[in-house]
């Protein structure tokens, strides 16, 4: 059998994901909060989308960006969590190489797109606070649509090379993935040749997409704070800052565990136990999608009023 034929057969074989290494006995207990959070994430973000698209008063740039975030959260949790629960409940960790690569691509694609959406939301707050008189002329529906399309296009061109990077590697029989879902470095480490190119590309992608987004978000909020503190009225300052607190909470919720996972995976070595890293990675794909609609629901009066109106109407009809 030739080497190329052997590699093809290996790629066609099924791989096994182990879930959380070292915590196999606790898989059932771990699955309970993850399943609950997944259901809350789907229901919460679907409700948020429904409210935004059915309530005309919410057809504003901030809420249109929020609808993009809700849609990304639904996809992020759905790409990973059902398979994760199948591993925890039924030990169904088998997955083909092609399906594993597909899950990897969509996971990273959604992550990079969501990072761009958070940057767009920071730009929305920057325009609203620093250039309030030009807000409606700068952030028109056409501009918002183009920003959404740009986020998707950028994410695709950044993440699609990952598919070629894992397919170019030579695989020689290792088929155990010590994780609950497929991601780039997890697949690359199954190869029996050098993965330096994969590591370098992963770092470059992080620097020129996610890290760049974070830098631009920080710059936006630095300018926002300078503008806010020049407002003479204390009440006006607090009101301006109050429009940003939900977004800041979501930013911290999204980026903090993401950067921890990124650096732990590449530079953590043996200082961070593998089960801790994998457990946090599992929580990462369900916790932000679960809490994002709750944060905006609690902090945004228009959304609260609409939810109360819907439930009051249903109660009246009953």
Mean per-residue pLDDT, 183-203? 90
pTM of the model: 0.91
Instruction: Look at residue 317 and tell me whether its pLDDT is greater than 80.
Output: no
State pLDDT tens for residues 223-264. 999 999 888 888 888 888 888 888 899 999 999 887 777 666
> Which among 68, 178, 41, 171 has a CA at the least distance from the CA of 124?
68
- C-alpha distance from residue 291 to each of 44, 75, 252, 256 (Å): 9, 15, 12, 14
Instruction: Look at residue 3 and tell me whether its pLDDT is greater than 50.
Output: no
State pLDDT tens for residues 140-153. 999 999 999 999 99
State pLDDT tens for residues 5-16. 445 455 567 889
Look up residue 167 and give its two tokens.
């397919």
CATH topology of domain 14-305: Rhopdopsin 7-helix transmembrane proteins (1.20.1070)
pLDDT of residue 232: 85
What percent of the chain lies above the pLDDT cut of 70?
A: 90
Average pLDDT, the chain: 88
pLDDT of residue 268: 56
Poorest-pLDDT segment among 80-84, 194-198, 278-282, 287-291: 278-282
- C-alpha distance from residue 161 to each of 117, 170, 202, 286 (Å): 21, 17, 10, 26
Poorest-pLDDT segment among 110-114, 138-142, 159-163, 314-318: 314-318
Q: What are phi and psi of 17, to 5 degrees?
A: -95, 135
- Classify residue 269 as left (phi > 0), alpha (psi -120 to 50) or beta: left
pLDDT of residue 1: 40
> Which among 137, 139, 146 has a CA at the least distance from the CA of 123?
139
pLDDT of residue 301: 76
Are 107 and 72 spatial neighbours (Cβ–Cβ below 8 Å)? no
Instruction: Look at residue 185 and tell me whether its pLDDT is greater than 80.
Output: yes
- Classify residue 60 as left (phi > 0), alpha (psi -120 to 50) or beta: beta
State pLDDT tens for residues 253-304. 999 887 777 666 656 556 778 888 888 889 889 999 999 999 988 777 778 7
Instruction: Look at residue 30 and tell me whether its pLDDT is greater than 70.
Output: yes
């Amino acid at each position: 059998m030739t080497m190329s034929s052997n590699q093809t057969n290996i790629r066609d074989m099924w791989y096994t994901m182990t879930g959380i290494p070292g915590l196999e006995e606790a898989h059932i207990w771990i699955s309970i909060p993850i399943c609950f959070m997944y259901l809350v994430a789907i229901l919460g973000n679907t409700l948020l989308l429904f409210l935004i698209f059915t309530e005309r008063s919410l057809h504003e740039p901030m809420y249109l960006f929020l609808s993009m975030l809700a849609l990304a959260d639904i996809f992020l949790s759905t790409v990973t969590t059902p398979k994760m629960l199948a591993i925890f409940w039924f030990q169904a960790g088998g997955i083909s190489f092609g399906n594993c690569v597909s899950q990897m691509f969509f996971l990273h694609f959604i992550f990079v797109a969501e990072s761009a959406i958070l940057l767009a939301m920071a730009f929305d707050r920057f325009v609203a606070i620093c250039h309030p008189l030009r807000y409606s002329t700068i952030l028109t529906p056409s501009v918002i649509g183009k920003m959404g399309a740009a986020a998707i296009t950028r994410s695709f061109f950044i993440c699609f090379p990952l598919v070629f990077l894992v397919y170019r590697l030579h695989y020689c029989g290792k088929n155990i993935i010590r994780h609950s879902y497929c991601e780039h470095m997890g697949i690359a480490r199954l190869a029996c040749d050098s993965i330096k190119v994969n590591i370098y590309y992963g770092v470059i992608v992080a620097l020129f997409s996610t890290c760049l987004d974070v830098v631009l978000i920080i710059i936006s909020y630095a300018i926002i704070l300078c503008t806010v503190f020049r407002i003479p009225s204390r009440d006006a300052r607090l009101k301006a800052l109050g429009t940003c607190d939900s977004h800041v909470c979501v930013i911290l919720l999204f980026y903090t565990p993401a950067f921890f996972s990124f650096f732990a995976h590449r530079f953590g070595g043996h200082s961070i136990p593998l089960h801790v890293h994998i457990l946090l990675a599992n929580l990462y794909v369900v916790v932000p999608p679960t809490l994002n609609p709750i944060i905006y629901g609690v902090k945004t009066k228009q959304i609260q009023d609409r939810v109360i109106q819907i439930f009051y109407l249903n109660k009246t009809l009953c």
